[in-house]
Amino acid sequence: MSNPASASFIDAMTHHQAGRLAAAADGYRRVLAEMPGYPYALHGLGVIALQSGRSDEALALIERALAIEPEFAEAYVNRGNLLRKAGRMAEARQSYRHATDLRPGDAEAPYNLGTLLQMTGEGTAASICYRRTLDLIPAHAKALNNLGIQYKLEGRNEQALRCFRRAAAAQPEFAEAWYNQGVTLAGFVDAFPEASRAYRNAIALRPAYAEAHNNLGLALSHLGRAGEAETVLVRALVLSPGRPEILNNLGMACQGQRKLDEALACYDQALALRPDFAEAHNNRGMALLTAGDFEEGWREREWRWRTPHLAQSQQSFAQPLWRGEPAAGARILIHAEQGFGDSIQFCRYIPRLADRGLRVILSVPQELRRLLSGLPGIEQLLEEGDALPPFDLHCPMMSLPLAFSSTLADIPSRVPYLSAADRSVDAWRRRLPDDGRCRVGLAWAGNSRSHMADLAALDRRRSLPAERLTILGDRPDVTAYSLQKTEPLPPPGSPVVDHMGSIDDFAEAAALIANLDLVISVDTAVAHLAGALGKPIWLLNRFDNCWRWLQGRDDSPWYPTLRQFRQPRPGDWEAVLAAVSQALTEQAPSLTRWRRTKP
C-alpha cells in the first residue's frame, strides 16, 4: 500500500501484536476513516473484539471483511473459531475448509478444523487434520498435544506419549503437554517416578493446576510416599474445593499412613458429594475392614464390582445373588474372584453353606482345583471355563462373609481347613533330606500384575528382592526351600533349594509345605496356603498393609498360626528382616523338634 492508510495500518498492527489493544483499535479505526470498508482493518477490529470477549461484534466485523474480500483465508479461520464457540459446528467446519482451500500451506486452518472434529467425536478425521498441520509445522505444539489426546483415547498410549514429549520439547512452557505426558506415563508399569516429574513440571509452569496436583498426589501414593502425597492433595483441594476425586485420593494417602480416621473422613466427604462414587465406597470398605468394622466394611466392599478394576470381570448370571437368606436344598454356584490367595482365604465359608442345607457348586481356577477338592461341603467342583450345570443361586467367594454377616469375633478360623494328599506328602517326605536343620519355605514376591500400573506398583511395595530373603539359607540352623513359582526366581548361587519346577498347582505346593517347619512369605498366596494348612507362617508385611491383616496387631484372626512382621516405616525391610532373623535364632530348634517328634 502506498496511500496514507498503509502507515496507519502498519502502526495499528504493531500495537496489536504487542498486546496494546486499545491503541490498535484506534489505529484500525483511523484506517477505516481514510479507507472505508478496508477488509484487513475490519478484520483487525473483529479480532480485538474476539480477544475482548465480544463474540457477536467480532463475528459481524469479520463477516463484513469477508463480504468485501472473499478470499481472506485468515478471516475464515477466525470466523470458524467464533462459530465453533457459538456451537454452530457445521458452519464452522465449512469456514475452516474454505480457509484450507484458499491457503493450503497454512497450518492453522487444519489445526482448528481438527479441534472442531475432535470436539464432535470425529477422532479419525481430527487426527488427519493434526497430521496435516504437523506436515506443515512439525513442531506445532498444540497439534502434537491434541493428536496425543486422540491417540490416548484410542488406547495407542506409546504413540500418545511420543506426541506429548514432542509437544513439551517444542514448547517447554506448555503445561498441558507435561500434564498429559504424566497421565500417559501413569498407565505404564514402573513409570510413576517419571510421571511424577512430568506433573511437577506442569505445576511449576502453572502453580494453580489442580488436576496436576491431584494426579501427582496419586502417583506419589502408588510410589509408597503417602506423606508427600497427602501434602500435594491438600493443596489440590485448596485449588479445587469439593472435588470427590481429590477427596478419595486424599483418603488413600491417609490410609497409606495408617491414619484410618482421617481416611474415613475423606471418603465420607467424597460420598456426600457423589453418593454413587464406587471407588470411594470400595476404599471406605477397605478402611473399615482394616479397622475391624466388618459389618459395614463388607457392605461397602460390594461396590468393588463398579470400580474400573473389576467392572469388566464381574460375572453376570440370570440366577439371583445369594445374600444369606434361608435356601435349604437350593443349588448355589460359588465362583472365585481376584487372586489365588483370596480364594484360599474365603473358601473356609463353604462348609457353612452345606451346614445350611445348600448344595454347593464351586468354580475355581485350574491351579486351585485339586487343593480345594477335599474341602467339606462341595457337591460339584468345576474348573473355570467348564460348562455350568443348573443352579438356583450364586455368590462370589469374597461376598460370602457379607452373606454370613461375619464379624471379627466369629471368623471361621479353625485350621487346618485345607490339606495336602497323603500320597503327595509322603513323596515329598522321601525327597527332602533330613539334615536336622529347620526347614523354612520362602516366598519373596507376589504376582507382578504387569497388566495394570497401579497394581504393579502395589506389588513392588509388598515384594522384596530375592537376595534379601534367600540370604536366610546361609544360616547353619536352616535349610531354605523356595516357594516362589513366578519371577524373580532365586538368584544364581543362592543357598535356597528350589524344587518349584516340580510344582504345577497349589495341591502340590501344599504337599511340599506340609514337610516344612515354617513358611516365611510376603503378602501373597503362599502365606494364605500355609495358614490354611495350619503351618507356622511368618508374614512379612508392608507398612500400608492390606485390609485383611488389620492394624495394630502381629497375629491374625484368619490364621491362628500366622505371625506378622510389619514394616515400621514405608519400605523398611531391614527392620523386618532383622526381627525375622532374631526370631529364627530363638525358635528354629523348637520348630524342628516339633516336626521330628510329631506322630
Q: DSSP string of 373-407?
A: TT-TTEEEEEETTSPPPP-SEEEEGGGHHHHTT--
At residue 1, the pLDDT reads 37
CA distance 176 to 226: 25
CA proximity to 189, closest of 528, 387, 452: 452
pLDDT range class, residue 588, cuts 50, 70, 90: confident
Mean pLDDT across 165-169: 98
Question: Would you state the pLDDT for residue 596?
Answer: 54
Give the per-residue pLDDT at 487.
85
C-alpha closest to that of 350 among 403, 298, 313, 303:
403
pLDDT tens by residue, 225-266: 999 999 999 999 999 999 999 999 999 999 999 999 999 999
Give 592 or 153, the one with higher predicted confidence.
153
**pLDDT of amino acid 368:** 97
Q: What is the pLDDT of residues 80-116, one digit of tens each?
A: 889 888 889 888 888 888 888 888 888 888 998 898 9
* 451 against 1, higher pLDDT: 451
Q: At 319, is the pLDDT very low, low, confident or very high (cuts 50, 70, 90)? A: very high
What average pLDDT score do residues 381-398 get?
Answer: 96
What is the model's pLDDT at position 597?
A: 53
| pLDDT at 73 (0 to 100) | 83
Average pLDDT, stretch 189-216?
97
Largest Cα–Cα distance of the chain, in whole Å? 114
Between 525 and 588, whose confidence is greater? 525
Return the CATH class of domain 331-410. alpha beta
Which residues are registered as beta bridge partners of 562? 537
Average pLDDT, the chain: 93
| Separation of alpha carbons 365 and 219, rounded Å | 33
Homologous superfamily assigned to 186-309: Tetratricopeptide repeat domain (1.25.40.10)
Half-sphere exposure of 8 (CA within 13 A, CB side): 18
Domain 422-597 in this protein, CATH class = alpha beta
What's the average model confidence in pLDDT over 435-454? 88
State yes or no: pLDDT of 574 exceeds 80.
Answer: yes
Q: CA 534, 348, 350: angle at the middle one, nearest 5? A: 150
Average pLDDT over residues 166-181: 98
**Partners of 412 in the β-ladder:** none
Lowest-confidence segment of 17-26, 66-75, 289-298, 514-523 by average pLDDT: 66-75
Cis amide linkage into residue 244, ω under 30° from 0 = no
Q: Taking residues 115-119, what's their average pLDDT? A: 90
Indicate if 331-410 has the same CATH topology as 186-309: no
pLDDT at 436: 87
Cell reading at 102: 484458499
Question: Can you tell me the distance from the alpha carbon of 178 to that of 148, in angstroms, rounded to the nearest whole number?
Answer: 12
Overall average pLDDT of the 543-570 stretch: 96
Q: What is the DSSP letter of 155?
A: T
All structural domains of the chain with their residue ranges? 186-309, 331-410, 422-597
Question: Helical H runs in 223-291?
Answer: 226-239, 244-255, 260-273, 278-290
pLDDT at 5 over 80: no
Highest averaged pLDDT of the listed ranges 15-29, 103-117, 259-273: 259-273
Q: How far apart are CA 426 and CA 173, in angstroms?
A: 69
* pLDDT tens, residue by residue, 279-295: 999 999 999 999 999 99
Measured CA to CA, the distance from residue 32 to residue 34 in angstroms comes to: 5
pLDDT reading at 598 higher than 80? no
The answer to whether the beta carbons of residues 337 and 398 sit under 8 Å apart is: yes
CA dihedral over 34, 39, 44, 47, signed as positive or negative = positive
pLDDT at site 492: 87
According to the model, what pLDDT value does residue 599 have? 44
